[in-house]
Structure 1
């Protein structure tokens, strides 16, 4: 396994973990109240979701498409 594939797998795992934490934060009581009152998620939740999506996409690209 090449170093780029190894980095890709690590990024993919980290990205999925961040997405999970972002989902959990969005389903919390505080997240639900904030989303109800303001119409959007908290900044922390958004960073988890954006960072997780970016890391997962980069990791998937390095793992599956990079040769």
Structure 2
């Protein structure tokens, strides 16, 4: 599997996991185990979506 395909797959999986965690009883935590804000959550998911779109050549503007 080439590097771009791996990056797309990883980003989509991570986005999915973040979204699932947001709706769980545990919420989303950073590396230190602290809850993150909704804005931080949105930024994380957004970064992953933009990365995938960039690799696939899709404009999200």
TM-score, length-normalised on structure 2?
A: 0.51
Instruction: Sort the Cα spacing of 1:51 and 1:22 in 2 relative to 1 into closer, same or farther, 3 A.
Output: same
Tell whether the 8 Å contact from 1:22 to 1:49 is kept in structure 2 after alignment.
Answer: yes
Alignment root-mean-square deviation, CA: 2.6
Instruction: Specify which structure has the higher proportion of helix.
Output: 1
Is 1:10 the counterpart of 2:2 in the alignment?
Answer: no
Work out the number of aligned pairs and report it.
48
| TM-score normalised to structure 1 length | 0.48
Which of the pair has the greater relative contact order for Cα pairs under 8 Å at 6+ separation? 1
Given candidates 53, 56, 60, the residue that maps to 2:52 is 56
Higher-Rg structure is: 1
Provide structure 2 residue ranges, at least 5 long, that are not aligned to the other structure: 28-36
Which consecutive unaligned segments of at least 5 residues does structure 1 have? 1-5, 32-40, 62-67
